[in-house]
A and B are shown apart, each in its own frame.
Chain A
């Protein structure tokens, strides 16, 4: 593509092969790290600052998904379209909250668009994580918490500050992004690398790692441990059991069912297009509520 406007830097939303990339300013450093050698084509714009691409006025607005995540607003001859990217409505100390934008057409994600997905309070979930960590410490074992390396891990670290100032070990993939978040001024629990030193005694420690590290040789250093997983999918008992983690914690960077319905309504859009996950259910529900809705096929992935 000549110019790619990027909503956020997760792998299914930012990929190489374009000449030019436009991101929101707070997400610039993350996108730069992710693009590697292609980052020379990267340009950052402030939230809500309009720019012109051909005949279209383009601006980026906070989406509350991860640091620098954005909704894309497009205006052409008085008609406004908004692409939500991934978003959530829960408070998150690592990123600016979503602002609903009035538009004619709203393209919304629908990853968790079933009424069974309604998130508990973040404080409550992080409290459960801390209790699990403490219980494991009493048993003399490590707690390995798997969570997406970009966004979720930093959110957990930021939320942990309300409970403890103890250091948390992080996998190398997490550490790189924690460093970027720290430089952006995001306050998080202190972290130590769980990658370099093989002689560390991890008994009683909390370790954050990406799901891809599960079952790898990297895990051997922790000897006996309990495993946990942070994801919206952990809401359903069958999913918790199938994934084979000891514990599931319901913590998602996506909107839950009430937040999806509310956001689609708040934009005032006359037409809503749905992508990701349960887009068919959301489409049918909105149509029955009198909204002109349709599913839109994309290559976006689902939350890990």
Chain B
């Protein structure tokens, strides 16, 4: 997660579109196939369905941080985002960050987050509060965003297409075409996304740009449909 957290930080701390594209290209080139696929999924605005509701996660925070409910609520209101407020409140100076192994983005999702869906509440609580106690701030923030289904990254889909086209050495229109519709982030998906362009595309598909012309309402409908 450290590498993806680094990418998130780079995207979040610059307004330059060139720097954002460069950061994504660097990530895509260095990442494993599965990590690159998951990063594409997240960066292009697709979202994992939330793992935990805000009421439950808020209660765990109050119990774990040993703070009164009103103070946690006031802090969350001052931050404006529960996932960030948790990461800030749990970012105490004596944090044991060596207590947790750094897994990559796809490993985090596959081996730590997705198994939460079949766990009971006590097991979920033990896992999640354990992460709060041991993850460095940036990773804790990102994991909380994934847990609450609220991870959005400050890049347009057009920029992601630009970065992918550079990283995969494919025309932007071809990248955009291959990202259309529904897909599951996997090594196989990333291989297909980066496959050399066929000499002749068969059957012909519409060439118009898909992303920029979407209406807001349609984006929302699509985003809902795309959650895993």
Contacts and interface: CB of A to CB of B under 8 A. Distances in A.
B53 interface: no
B89 A246 contact: no
A4 interface: no
Interface stretch (A92-100, A113-121, A215-223): A113-121
A116 B74 CA distance: 10
Nearest to B80: A238
B71 A285 contact: yes
A42 to B, nearest CB: 39
Contacts of A284: 70-71
Interface string A224-262: 000000000001111000000011000000000010000
Nearest to B18: A139
Interface in A97-115: 114-115
B89 A115 contact: yes
A79 interface: no
Interface in B65-81: 65, 67-68, 70-72, 74-75, 78-81
Interface string B40-64: 0000000000000000000000000
Contacts of B228: none
A115 B68 CA distance: 11
Nearest to A237: B84
B195 to A, nearest CB: 34
Interface residues of B, number: 23
Contact of B71 (A235, A246, A281): A281
Contacts of A288: 68
A285 B84 contact: no
Nearest to B154: A241
Given A258-B92, A285-B71, A288-B68, A114 B81 contact: no
A116 B72 CA distance: 9
Q: Give the size range of A's interface with the partner.
A: 10 to 19
Given A118-B88, A288-B68, A236 B14 contact: no
Nearest to A247: B13
B15 interface: yes
B187 interface: no
Given A247-B13, A288-B68, A116 B93 contact: no
Q: Which of A114, A278, A284 has the most CB of B within 10 A?
A: A114
A285 B69 CA distance: 11
A281 B75 CA distance: 9
A115 B14 CA distance: 28
A29 B10 CA distance: 42
Given A118-B88, A118-B92, A235-B88, A285 B68 contact: yes
12 contacts: A114-B74, A115-B65, A115-B72, A115-B89, A117-B88, A118-B88, A235-B88, A236-B84, A237-B12, A238-B79, A238-B80, A247-B13
Closest 5 CB pairs of A and B: A116-B88, A116-B75, A114-B75, A238-B80, A115-B89
